[in-house]
Structures are given as C-alpha cells and as structure tokens.
C-alpha cells in the first residue's frame, strides 16, 4: 500500500484467513457473472435505459463491504450493481429492478442507476455525480447522534472527487469525527476525461491532509490490500476517531456504459491492466493455498445458476401499472388511531 499520501498512519490487517478470502472471491465472482449477464441481456433490447458495468472493479466493493455489518450504510454511484451485491442485496430483486419491473427493489421505478434497499443499508445508487457523498455523511451524522455504532461508506469516482460536495463533507466529517469512509474508485477516467487531465494531484487521497484525516491509497488489483485498508478505516470510524479517505486505483474493463466504443483508452494500457485482474489473481492464490479447481468450478456453476434464475424472475415480473405512476412519491397516508 502506498504511503506517499498518508497523513496519519493507519494500521492494516496483516493476515486474512482462507474462509475470508473464499468469501471475497465468491462476492467478486458473483459480481463479475451478474454484470456479464446484464451486459449480454442489455444487447437484446429487453433492459431499458443505460447500464454501467462494474467488471474489473469487483475487488473494491468486495473488499470494503466485507468489513461492514448488515445495518451499516452505503451510498453508491451510477455504476452501482457491484456495491449492491457486495452489501447483500437480493439478485432477483436487483435484476427485476434493472429490467424495470414491479418486483424490483424499487418497484421498477429506479432502474439500473437508482437501485436502493434500505433493509440492507443500501441508501441508493445515484446518477448524479457525487450525489451519494453528502447522503453518506448524513447517515454518519445520524449514527453519531444515536450512538448506534454504525458506519457509512460513500463510493464515488475520480470525477466526483472534484465536486465541491466532497470537500464540504470531508470538512464536516472531520470536525465532528463522523464514522464515514469515503472511497474513491479511481478508474482513471471520468467517463472519457482522463483523471490526470482533470485532477490537480496524482492521488486523490492526498487531499485528506487538508482535513487532518488519514488518506490512503490501495491497489484495486489486490483485494487483500483493499480489505485491509477498509478494515482499518471502518474500525477507526466505529471507535469514534472520525473519517478516512480511501482511494483505490482500479480499472473498468468495459466502456463507460454498455455500448460505449471506448476509443479514448490506449490499447496497450487496456491490455496491461486486464492482465492484473484482481479476480484472476485471487483465484490463483486460492489454488496455491489448497482450494481445488473442482471447488471453484462448483462455486461458479452455483452462481451462474443464481444469475440465470434472477433473469428469469425479472422476465416473469410484471411492468408497473401506469395508473400507479405517482405511487411511492409520497408516504402512504396513515389513519389516525
């Protein structure tokens, strides 16, 4: 882990047991298979709107969310399927939402970019760049006021790192020592704009020094590193020591959205980065540690079946009734006792 931008030393976990690593691999593989199937089905025209694939970034969501409790909070981005899965959202209800169906997590009203599941602490994916940052800060404030012990995680991209709301949120979270983990998923491009062109510093995490909080850089090709960095930050938040800015250097294997010709990226850079696939790296480590090919293939078959089941569930689910267009916009009326 880079220490060039660390304002405060953050302890990291030195060992991760095999069961935890298997759990991380399972989550990453589930995300990969889900996203690959969504991309495939999107091309048939059945899925409305746009979808933004998380393929290649699985180690970030898996490594961070493995350190969270059921009732901890997460806010996401337009590229939010991986965060939802890592936080434990139901695959069937997720797929139905992506298909815009009534049995979806948001009754088909949100679609791919606005999935939410409050029962899992998933406060929502968000199509607004940086839109979830202040929401996670508010969730952290609520946790602090209630002394509930919950932490909040705000996932955002390198483009959102230049939004004013991040700096306002970091300042308040630092002043009030809020239990918030700010995770910048720096995949090098804000849609098609290179981070090196639009960001004044080589590491977004370096900005943490202005707020007197830890700023840590982790390698998104190494889920162990992400998990360890997130674990230290979550423990810091729960202990009442305040927020952490964690930047994970990662890479999306696909275009900004499904159908993006992706001509703004260099072929050699794309090839070299794909060779550092975190999922393949962890698979190799597990095999070296005694996990068998048969075990991993059985896991893949199980998850592929679950994803296929989710697709069929979504297809069977009805579309929302246009007569209910304004339903869920306001709270349902409650009769006086």
pTM equals 0.94
C-alpha–C-alpha distance, residues 324 and 265, integer Å: 44
Give me the DSSP letters along 235-285.
Answer: HHHHTT---EEEEEE---SS-SSTT---TTS-HHHHHHHHTT-HHHHHHHH
Q: Which residues contact 199 (CB under 8 A, 6 or more apart)?
A: 158, 161, 162
DSSP state of 107: T
* Gap between the terminal Cα atoms of the chain: 58
For residue 4, pLDDT beyond 60: no
Bridge partner residues of 152 (DSSP): 73, 180
For residue 5, pLDDT beyond 50: no
Q: What is the CA radius of gyration of the chain?
A: 20
Residue 140: C-alpha distances to residues 80, 121, 154 (Å): 20, 12, 10
pLDDT tens, position by position, 147-195? 999 999 999 999 999 999 999 999 999 999 999 999 999 999 999 999 9
Burial of 323 (0-12, 13-18, 19+ CB in 10 A): exposed
Lowest mean pLDDT among 66-80, 83-97, 184-198, 260-274: 260-274
Q: How many CB atoms lie within 10 A of CB 329?
A: 7
Edge-to-edge strand ranges of the sheet holding 73-75: 73-75, 152-157, 180-186, 244-249, 215-219
Do 143 and 149 form a contact (C-beta atoms < 8 A)?
yes
Do 223 and 231 form a contact (C-beta atoms < 8 A)?
no
For residue 301, pLDDT beyond 80: yes
pLDDT tens, position by position, 102-151? 999 999 999 999 999 999 999 999 999 999 999 999 999 999 999 999 99
Average pLDDT, integer, range 219-245 = 97
Give the mean pLDDT of the chain.
Answer: 93
Average pLDDT, integer, range 308-317 = 98
> pLDDT band for position 52 (50/70/90)?
very high
Please give the pLDDT value at position 7: 45
Pick from 115, 36, 117: nearest CA to 77: 115
Bridge partner residues of 189 (DSSP): 194
pLDDT tens, position by position, 192-210? 999 999 999 999 999 999 9
Please give the pLDDT value at position 270: 84
Please give the pLDDT value at position 69: 97
For residue 13, pLDDT beyond 80: no
C-alpha–C-alpha distance, residues 100 and 111, integer Å: 5
Please give the pLDDT value at position 336: 74
Helix axes 18-42, 278-288, angle to 10 degrees: 140
Query: DSSP alpha helices (H): ranges in the chain?
Result: 18-42, 58-65, 81-86, 91-98, 133-146, 164-176, 195-198, 223-238, 267-274, 278-288, 293-316
Please give the pLDDT value at position 2: 42
C-alpha–C-alpha distance, residues 229 and 237, integer Å: 13
Average pLDDT, integer, range 209-215 = 97
Above pLDDT 90, what percent of the chain? 87
DSSP state of 117: B
Token pair of 6, please?
Answer: 């660390």
> pLDDT band for position 280 (50/70/90)?
very high
């Amino acid at each position: 882990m880079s220490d060039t931008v660390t304002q405060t030393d953050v302890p990291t976990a030195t060992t991760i047991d095999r069961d935890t690593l298997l759990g991380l691999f399972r989550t990453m593989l589930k995300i990969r298979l889900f996203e690959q199937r969504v991309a495939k089905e999107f091309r048939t025209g059945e899925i409305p709107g746009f979808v933004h694939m998380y393929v290649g970034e699985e180690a970030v969501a898996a490594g961070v969310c493995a350190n969270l409790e059921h009732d901890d909070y997460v806010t996401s981005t337009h590229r939010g399927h991986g965060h939802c899965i890592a936080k434990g959202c139901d695959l069937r209800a997720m797929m139905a939402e992506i298909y815009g169906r009534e049995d979806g997590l948001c009754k088909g009203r949100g679609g791919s970019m606005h999935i939410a599941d409050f029962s899992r602490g998933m406060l929502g994916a968000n199509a607004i760049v940086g839109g979830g940052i202040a929401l996670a800060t508010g969730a952290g404030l609520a946790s602090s006021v209630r002394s509930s012990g919950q932490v909040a995680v705000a996932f955002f991209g390198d483009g959102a790192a230049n939004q004013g709301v991040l700096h306002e949120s970091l300042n308040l979270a630092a002043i009030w020592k809020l239990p918030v983990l700010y995770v910048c998923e720096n995949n090098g491009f804000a849609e098609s704009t290179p981070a090196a062109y639009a960001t004044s510093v080589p590491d977004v995490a370096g900005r943490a020094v202005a707020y007197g909080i830890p700023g840590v850089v982790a390698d998104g090709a190494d889920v162990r590193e992400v998990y360890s960095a997130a674990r230290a930050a979550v423990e810091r938040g729960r202990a009442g020591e305040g927020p952490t800015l964690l930047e994970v250097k990662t890479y999306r294997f696909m275009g900004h959205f499904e159908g993006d010709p992706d001509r703004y990226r260099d072929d050699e850079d794309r090839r070299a980065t794909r060779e550092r696939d975190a999922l393949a790296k962890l698979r190799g480590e597990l095999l070296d540690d005694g996990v068998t090919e048969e075990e991993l293939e059985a896991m893949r078959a199980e998850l592929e079946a679950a994803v296929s089941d989710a697709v069929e569930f979504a297809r069977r689910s009805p579309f929302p009734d246009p007569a209910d267009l304004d339903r869920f916009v306001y709270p349902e009326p409650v009769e006086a006792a």
